[in-house]
């Protein structure tokens, strides 16, 4: 039967009080667009700054030449006394159609004292004559002007027999900044309009590129949405596989699906095995009771039937208790499970040996434990005791009469302890070394009711070991027999 179609889940309504959804594509688009906008504004600002600086340098050069031209218009009169005169007829014209240029000419002595005005065309009477700056910006007639100040200029006109010391000139010359500012504004406009168009084009290309780039991610989402309990196939598109940034995500998804599929199969197998194990004692119990009700029987026959039914009920109860213990152990492996207090490992091993020593003695099997001490692990004492008891039960079951079982504690590496249960039995088949810890798995082909057990003891042992942050594994000894090893982190 083909798998049921799955639709990729679209955006759902955000519940009230929940954190709003975040669109990755919108964040990428906004980030790229803002960076492009910042770059465009930075380039525009830098261009305007450099252009204004160059234009201002050219403006200052022209302003200086005009001020020198004003200084050249100061001449001596032809008749004695040779007084200084100013001829305004040759003044350089203003660069602005409506705003005039302003000038202010002062003469002074050799020591720049006794200043007197020669000529003035200035809207203000008082000037900052003590300002030592060469260039300054002023607000004249509600407009921006740039002023140049030339000090201690000699009079270019020469006359004979002039009294010394010869006077010096101070020239104030102001020209409107409107032409320069207009040029800067035009430059900014010529740059801003194409930049805005290019920015819009870049924004469109960014949206297209990001959406196209996120296409493989959407394909992965569609593939993941199609997975169900009937369809475990995951086939990412070649475009997604070829994307370097998606390679770790694909590998993680495949590993996660493999683990989930394995857990699903184990859960299904567990349900099947549990049903099988429960079916056998229930069927036998039902058959026994039905046979007792078919016809009248003697009291001994009823007693014998009841005893047999009680044996089946005991077996059923033992199976249910082991299943409940396995469920409890798996709950201890949850991340939210509380961390137990440290316990002495040797004491739990000794308690397990004491509990099984009687059964081992009936079969002539000797159990020894080394004297290693001082190992503390964070796990429940009862759970650890059950762990060692399950390993010892397995060892006693497969060790021949008169054999030897040894339990030892040692540190394989700093921060860890290894508990080994070694027996002198026939060992474990190579195909069973990895499977003996599965639920309801038994290496014996027959399911004998007396010796076969349920196949849950080693599964419970693995659950306890993993809940304590450790691991369990089996191996065959070179000298014969098997060794079940549990490695746990020290507290």
Task: Report, as an integer, the average pLDDT of 269-289.
Answer: 71
- Per the CB < 8 A criterion, the answer to whether 464 and 401 are in contact is no
Closest-CA residue to 390 (of 317, 336, 320, 465): 465
Q: Scanning the structure block, which residue is given the tokens 């088949």?
A: 429
- Per the CB < 8 A criterion, the answer to whether 171 and 71 are in contact is yes
| pLDDT for residue 273 | 64
pLDDT digits 0-9 by tens, 377-402: 888 888 888 888 888 888 888 888 88
- Per the CB < 8 A criterion, the answer to whether 25 and 214 are in contact is yes
Half-sphere exposure of 55 (CA within 13 A, CB side): 18
| pLDDT for residue 5 | 44
| pLDDT for residue 336 | 52
| pLDDT for residue 46 | 92
**Distance (Å, rounded) from C-alpha 108 to C-alpha 476?**
116
Q: Does pLDDT of 366 surpass 80? A: yes
| pLDDT for residue 62 | 92
Q: Does pLDDT of 17 surpass 70? A: no
Task: Tell me which of 489 and 6 has the higher pLDDT.
Answer: 489
- Per the CB < 8 A criterion, the answer to whether 122 and 88 are in contact is no
Closest-CA residue to 103 (of 74, 132, 79): 74
Correct CATH for 339-489 of 3.40.50.1820, 3.20.20.210, 3.30.565.10, 3.50.50.60: 3.30.565.10
Mean residue pLDDT across the chain: 79
Those residues whose C-beta lies under 8 Å from the C-beta of residue 79, and which sit 6 or more positions away, are none
- Helical pair 247-294 and 299-332, crossing angle rounded to 10 deg: 170
pLDDT digits 0-9 by tens, 152-162: 888 887 776 67
Q: Does pLDDT of 453 surpass 70? A: no
- Per the CB < 8 A criterion, the answer to whether 1 and 230 are in contact is yes
Q: Does pLDDT of 319 surpass 80? A: no
Helix (H, G, I), strand (E, B) or coil at 410: strand
| pLDDT for residue 8 | 41
pLDDT digits 0-9 by tens, 52-98: 999 999 999 999 999 999 888 888 877 777 778 888 888 888 888 88
| pLDDT for residue 12 | 46
Strands of 143-154's sheet, edge to edge?
Answer: 116-121, 102-108, 168-176, 143-154, 135-140
Q: Which range, of 113-122, 344-353, 379-388, averages the lowest pLDDT?
A: 113-122
Helices (H) and strands (E) in the chain, counts: 9, 14
Closest-CA residue to 6 (of 232, 214, 223, 234): 223
What backbone phi and psi angles, to 5 degrees, belong to 435?
A: -105, -10
- Per the CB < 8 A criterion, the answer to whether 485 and 409 are in contact is no
What share of the chain has pLDDT > 70, as a percent? 81
Q: Does pLDDT of 449 surpass 50? A: no
Q: Scanning the structure block, which residue is given the tokens 């819009």?
A: 200
**Distance (Å, rounded) from C-alpha 254 to C-alpha 224?**
10
| pLDDT for residue 54 | 93
Task: Tell me which of 205 and 122 has the higher pLDDT.
Answer: 205
Q: Model pTM greater than 0.85?
A: no
pLDDT digits 0-9 by tens, 183-199: 899 998 988 898 889 88
What share of the chain has pLDDT > 90, as a percent? 7
- Per the CB < 8 A criterion, the answer to whether 419 and 388 are in contact is yes
| pLDDT for residue 18 | 52
Q: Does pLDDT of 14 surpass 60? A: no
Task: Report, as an integer, the average pLDDT of 237-256.
Answer: 82
Q: Where are the domains of the chain?
A: 47-185, 224-338, 339-489
Distances (CA, A) of 251 to 238, 244, 264: 14, 11, 20
Task: Report, as an integer, the average pLDDT of 327-347.
Answer: 70
Q: Could you tell me how many residues make up the chain?
A: 491
Q: Which range, of 258-267, 326-335, 343-352, 395-404, averages the lowest pLDDT?
A: 326-335
First to last CA, the chain: 52
| pLDDT for residue 56 | 92
Beta strands in 356-435 (DSSP E): 366-369, 376-378, 404-410, 416-423
């Amino acid at each position: 039967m083909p798998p049921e179609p799955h639709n990729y889940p679209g955006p759902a309504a955000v519940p009230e009080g929940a954190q709003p959804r975040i669109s990755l594509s919108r964040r990428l688009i906004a980030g790229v667009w803002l960076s492009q906008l910042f770059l465009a504004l930075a380039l525009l600002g830098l261009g305007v700054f450099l252009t204004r600086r160059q234009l201002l340098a050219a403006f200052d050069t022209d302003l200086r030449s005009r001020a020198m031209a004003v200084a050249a218009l100061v001449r001596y009169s032809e008749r004695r006394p040779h007084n200084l005169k100013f001829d305004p007829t040759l003044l350089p014209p203003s660069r602005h159609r409506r705003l005039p240029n302003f000038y202010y000419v002062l003469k002074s002595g050799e020591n720049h004292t006794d200043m007197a005005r020669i000529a003035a065309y200035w809207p203000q009477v008082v000037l900052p004559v003590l300002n030592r700056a060469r260039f300054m910006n002023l607000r004249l007639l509600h407009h921006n002007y740039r002023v140049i100040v030339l000090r201690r200029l000699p009079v270019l006109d020469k006359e004979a027999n002039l009294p010394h010391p010869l006077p010096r000139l101070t020239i104030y010359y102001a020209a409107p900044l409107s032409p320069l500012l207009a040029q800067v504004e035009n430059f900014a406009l010529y740059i801003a309009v194409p930049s805005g168009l290019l920015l819009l084009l870049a924004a469109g290309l960014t949206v297209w590129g990001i959406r196209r780039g996120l296409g493989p991610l959407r394909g992965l989402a569609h593939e993941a949405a199609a997975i169900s309990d009937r369809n475990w196939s995951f086939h990412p598109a070649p475009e997604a596989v070829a994307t370097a940034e998606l390679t770790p995500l694909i590998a993680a998804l495949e590993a996660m699906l493999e683990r989930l599929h394995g857990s699903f199969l184990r859960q299904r197998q567990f349900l099947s095995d549990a049903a099988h194990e429960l079916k056998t004692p229930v069927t036998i119990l039902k058959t026994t009771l039905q046979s007792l009700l078919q016809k009248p029987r003697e009291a001994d026959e009823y007693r014998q039937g009841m005893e047999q039914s009680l044996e089946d009920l005991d077996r059923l109860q033992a199976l249910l208790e082991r299943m409940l213990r396995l469920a409890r152990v798996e709950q201890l492996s949850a991340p939210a499970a509380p961390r137990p207090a440290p316990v002495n490992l040797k004491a739990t091993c000794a308690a397990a040996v004491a509990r099984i020593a009687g059964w081992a003695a009936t079969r002539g099997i000797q159990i020894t434990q080394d004297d290693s001490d001082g190992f503390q692990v964070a796990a429940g004492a009862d759970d650890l005791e059950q762990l060692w008891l399950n390993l010892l039960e397995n060892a006693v079951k497969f060790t021949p009469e008169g054999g030897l079982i040894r339990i030892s504690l040692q540190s394989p590496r700093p921060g860890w302890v290894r508990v080994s249960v070694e027996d002198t039995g026939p060992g474990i088949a190579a195909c069973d070394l990895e499977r003996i810890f599965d639920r309801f798995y038994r290496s014996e082909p027959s399911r004998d009711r007396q010796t076969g057990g349920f196949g849950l003891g080693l599964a419970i042992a693995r659950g306890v070991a993993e809940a304590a942050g450790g691991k369990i594994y089996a191996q065959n000894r070179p000298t014969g027999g098997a060794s079940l090893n549990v490695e746990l982190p020290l507290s």
